[in-house]
Chain A
């Protein structure tokens, strides 16, 4: 049975690593539904969060193949109940449309959105939440005239947040613990 998985992974900040990762998924015809990349809590270590839909067997196979890449430090695979995830979306809506009725008030009170910029022509609204919440808000704003809509990929933490950070710490300590990382030959 196919289901949604969030693959979180830590990599060295090296050129080409993203290509190598996507090659593995492409070869197995797995579509990346969303992807986010940014520096992690450790300097020089990138964190990547991808959402894919596939079978449990296949997600384990590709996770192992990704982890095998020289520049990949660690791969975690999670199903939706195991993580807390958010996306962020920006809506650029016509001011005229948004000003009618009680829409503005509803945005802030009911949908916990924020107003980022107001001009006579348009208003920019920011909303973070899960995929469904953002999609719902888009449907609500649509009649007001949405000029632009953009959403980020998923970012996620596991319910055992400690595990991820502990692993990175361990790694750092292990590295510091090595008195002379590289033997000197000459």
Chain B
């Protein structure tokens, strides 16, 4: 055997057509797509890929999580902070099935993630071989696209398609399943980026006539309301949104995932929509005469009872996914297009306007909500520590300039309500799927993708214990996440529903918890527990200033409720402001 005399980089220069293994072709293809970080977990079928990964360590950083679900969430968070598709590796069988929650989560929240799973050797596929599972069939309902590769020569094209599909149009997760023999086989490698698929047209031509109709509707409206969703962020339309709102004097309400799409300090910010959204935005949805929905999908958590939703409003729906238009809410004008393109075209046609009377209605209701809910939650003088005041403390000390990660439940709603998001903020949360256990792995993915930015992960005691093994990953790579564990020894959101709708019968919601500070210590992660209000500000400050990972547990009020609430089945204008 001839000795290796050229470096990997030199080889790259002159070996487009050189023979490489399928595994190496996969890694080269990922590099072509601009990938620098992979989250994953090895196993039998994917060993050829991991073996080659050792030779590409200078260009591809691999982060070994402690469970494939963690890798999936981390890859999604990485995509959400970088705006580039996340990449996740898993082996066949259980490795692949462990991804499913993470894939579904990315699917519901339209986040581009390329999942690579290994499959058993092609001759064994379909025989119930060891660690064989039909991941193609299993992932079909929760991927934008998936495919199986059984020949090394097909790997580059499959990867090129995967990336093109994942990031274009309405983004989403894709999965490529590669048999073990395809990883080992040789191929003549060359890479062509995919820019066109006949059956798939993500770029939709703008119909100016519809844009003109929209402008007429906006110019004639007296009580218009913009609803901004994740699509605004995904299409990079935050600036265009602000320009439109300011020109037309239109208040902007946001969905959970749309929170950072509009600065909260802006005078036209109308609050968050939906079940635990703000009082004004919900109440006034039902008084608006025009709703301009941008990059959102009228989820049931946003609309409440559809029969009583926005009865006085005509609705314009700007949405890249045609299947979302008229799915939940009948609209008057559909603009099936990219949010940014549509808003850009719309802006010059909208008349400058000021709608002070309409804006004042929001401020009046904001005042009511502040007095009845916000002040007692964020500035209490006595009693146990509230979630809202912890969030407010972090918000004040980071001034919106942070990557905020949450798990799912009461603390998530507290963050959504009390963190003051701005143009500088990123929010990484599980919206459509509501996946408990998302927060910790997502936080390490988010921090890996945003070096130099503070990453604060708010997590409840329930969700934390679903994926706490990822403390091992945080330890191994010294990922500088600040974990804010809000501990009420309850599955808080379920407990709240039991209190409100099940006669206070607390079925399996009380938790006996470990000593989290000791637990973090076992992983070599600095930690402290805060039980008194007076310590809070100083403790949060110290946590943010700490180098490296840090866990801060806050003992919070055991039986506090998240309010206001649009109760299930209620209309958005039937908001419960106080309870008990």
A12–B191 touching, CB < 8 Å: no
A184 contacts which chain B residues (CB < 8 A)?
Answer: 192-193
- Taking a contact as CB atoms closer than 8 A, the residue among A19, A20, A27, A171 that contacts B198 in the complex is A171
Knowing A61-B323, A68-B322, A178-B196, say if A27 contacts B32 (CB, 8 Å). Answer: no
Knowing A61-B326, A64-B322, A67-B322, say if A181 contacts B196 (CB, 8 Å). Answer: yes
Report Cα–Cα, A175/B325, bound state, in Å: 28
B137–A182 touching, CB < 8 Å: no
Nearest CB of chain A from residue B162's CB, rounded to whole Å: 11
Segment at the A interface, from B113-121, B140-148, B244-252, B404-412? B140-148
Nearest CB of chain B from residue A134's CB, rounded to whole Å: 34
B192–A70 touching, CB < 8 Å: no
A73–B322 touching, CB < 8 Å: no
Q: Which of A27, A68, A171, A175 has the most CB of B within 10 A?
A: A68
Knowing A19-B140, A23-B140, say if A12 contacts B198 (CB, 8 Å). Answer: yes
- Taking a contact as CB atoms closer than 8 A, the residue among B193, B199, B322 that contacts A71 in the complex is B199
How would residues 159 to 186 of chain B score, 1 for a CB under 8 Å from any chain A CB and 0 otherwise?
0000001000000000000000000000
Report Cα–Cα, A68/B32, bound state, in Å: 27
Number of interface residues of A (CB under 8 A): 27
B5 contacts which chain A residues (CB < 8 A)?
Answer: none
The interface residues of chain A, by DSSP majority, are classed as: mixed
B210 contacts which chain A residues (CB < 8 A)?
Answer: none
Is A6 part of the contact surface with B, judged by Cβ < 8 Å?
no
Is A55 part of the contact surface with B, judged by Cβ < 8 Å?
no
How would residues 161 to 186 of chain A score, 1 for a CB under 8 Å from any chain B CB and 0 otherwise?
00000000001000100100111111
Report Cα–Cα, A72/B145, bound state, in Å: 11
Is B507 part of the contact surface with A, judged by Cβ < 8 Å?
no
How would residues 1 to 30 of chain A score, 1 for a CB under 8 Å from any chain B CB and 0 otherwise?
000000000011001100110010001000
A182–B192 touching, CB < 8 Å: yes
- Taking a contact as CB atoms closer than 8 A, the residue among B146, B191, B326 that contacts A186 in the complex is B191
- Taking a contact as CB atoms closer than 8 A, the residue among A19, A68, A185 that contacts B321 in the complex is A68
Q: Which residue of A lies closest to B195 (CB)?
A: A183
Report Cα–Cα, A61/B324, bound state, in Å: 8
B144–A70 touching, CB < 8 Å: yes
Q: Which residue of B lies closest to A72 (CB)?
A: B199
Q: Which residue of A lies closest to B157 (CB)?
A: A182
A68 contacts which chain B residues (CB < 8 A)?
Answer: 321-323
Report Cα–Cα, A183/B197, bound state, in Å: 13
Bin chain B's interface residue count. 20 to 34
Report Cα–Cα, A12/B140, bound state, in Å: 17
B190–A182 touching, CB < 8 Å: no
Is B363 part of the contact surface with A, judged by Cβ < 8 Å?
no
B140–A16 touching, CB < 8 Å: yes
Q: Which residue of A lies closest to B321 (CB)?
A: A68
How would residues 190 to 209 of chain B score, 1 for a CB under 8 Å from any chain A CB and 0 otherwise?
11111111111000000000
- Taking a contact as CB atoms closer than 8 A, the residue among B32, B200, B322 that contacts A70 in the complex is B200
A186–B190 touching, CB < 8 Å: yes
Report Cα–Cα, A70/B169, bound state, in Å: 11
How would residues 34 to 59 of chain B score, 1 for a CB under 8 Å from any chain A CB and 0 otherwise?
00000000000000000000000000
B322 contacts which chain A residues (CB < 8 A)?
Answer: 64, 67-68
Nearest CB of chain B from residue A33's CB, rounded to whole Å: 23
B190–A70 touching, CB < 8 Å: no
Is B536 part of the contact surface with A, judged by Cβ < 8 Å?
no
Is A80 part of the contact surface with B, judged by Cβ < 8 Å?
no
Nearest CB of chain B from residue A29's CB, rounded to whole Å: 15
A64–B323 touching, CB < 8 Å: yes
A171 contacts which chain B residues (CB < 8 A)?
Answer: 198
B140 contacts which chain A residues (CB < 8 A)?
Answer: 16, 19-20, 23
Q: Which residue of B lies closest to A184 (CB)?
A: B192
How would residues 137 to 176 of chain A score, 1 for a CB under 8 Å from any chain B CB and 0 otherwise?
0000000000000000000000000000000000100010
Is A65 part of the contact surface with B, judged by Cβ < 8 Å?
yes
Report Cα–Cα, A60/B327, bound state, in Å: 9
How would residues 119 to 139 of chain A score, 1 for a CB under 8 Å from any chain B CB and 0 otherwise?
000000000000000000000
Interface residues of B in 303-336 (CB under 8 A from A): 321-323, 325-327
A70–B327 touching, CB < 8 Å: no
Report Cα–Cα, A178/B198, bound state, in Å: 11
Nearest CB of chain B from residue A74's CB, rounded to whole Å: 8
- A selection of 25 A-B contacts at a CB cut-off of 8 Å is A12-B198, A16-B146, A23-B140, A23-B141, A27-B141, A60-B326, A61-B326, A61-B327, A64-B327, A68-B322, A70-B144, A71-B145, A72-B199, A73-B198, A171-B198, A175-B198, A181-B195, A182-B193, A182-B195, A183-B192, A183-B195, A184-B193, A185-B32, A186-B16, A186-B191
Residue ranges of A at the interface with B (Cβ–Cβ < 8 Å): 11-12, 15-16, 19-20, 23, 27, 60-61, 64-65, 67-68, 70-73, 171, 175, 178, 181-186
Given contact pairs A16-B146, A183-B192, a sample of 17 additional A-B residue pairs in the complex whose CB atoms are under 8 Å apart = A12-B198, A12-B199, A16-B136, A16-B140, A16-B147, A19-B137, A19-B140, A64-B327, A67-B322, A67-B323, A71-B199, A71-B200, A73-B198, A175-B198, A182-B196, A185-B192, A186-B191
Going nearest first, the 5 A-B pairs with the smallest beta carbon separation are A64-B323, A73-B199, A70-B145, A182-B192, A65-B323
